[in-house]
Amino acid sequence: MDYLLLKYLHVIGAIIILGTGTGIAFFMLMAHRTKDAAFVARTAAVVVIADMIFTASAVVAQPITGYLLADMTGAPLWEGWLGAALLLYGVAGVFWLPVVWLQSRMRDIAQEAAAAQHELPPAYHRLYRIWFLFGIPGFGSVMAILWLMIARPGL
């Protein structure tokens, strides 16, 4: 495969991960702020689908394109900035996987509350707080990886 095409696909994957992460966080936060169970349920339903289609696809493609790029250029995987990026990718994954489950569960709880015409229950709010807190290291890791990809510091 052509190096520039591979690099392009890798950068597109990074953009998708960062973009969907930002969009999902924004839409979930804005829906949560309304305290409207039906709106939260609809938003979370779309967010879960977006995460499964876009984020999951990019999450799978990134290590593949990254490995192929490293192989093409002879870059050692576990050294320097690349090793740090891989470590951070693992951190992001450790926090992203539970977030996907949390979003699904928050959707289900909001749907139940909306169907019963109740307010969002304490269980939803507890999951939202965890979701929010997990987003910090998960999203922060992705931001750091992007910086490492651009700056390629000598570590």
Q: Per residue in 74-123, pLDDT tens?
A: 999 999 999 999 999 999 999 999 999 999 999 999 999 999 999 999 99
Q: Among 36, 49, 34, 37, which residue's Cα sits nearest to residue 112?
A: 37
Quote the pLDDT of residue 124: 98
Give the residue, 1 or 80, on which the prediction is more confident: 80
State pTM to two decimals: 0.91
Quote the pLDDT of residue 1: 78
DSSP string, 3-55: HHHHHHHHHHHHHHHHHHHHHHHHHHHHHHHHT-HHHHHHHHHHHHHHIIIII
Q: What is the residue whose two structure tokens read 């910090």?
A: 136
Cα separation of 144 and 91, whole Å? 11
Tokens representing 60? 């799978």
In percent, the amount of the chain with pLDDT more than 70 equals: 100
Q: pLDDT-based confidence at 22, cuts 50/70/90?
A: very high
Cα separation of 95 and 19, whole Å? 17
Quote the pLDDT of residue 155: 78
3-state secondary structure 86-111: HHHHHHHHHHHHHHHHHHHHHHHHHH
In percent, the amount of the chain with pLDDT more than 90 equals: 98
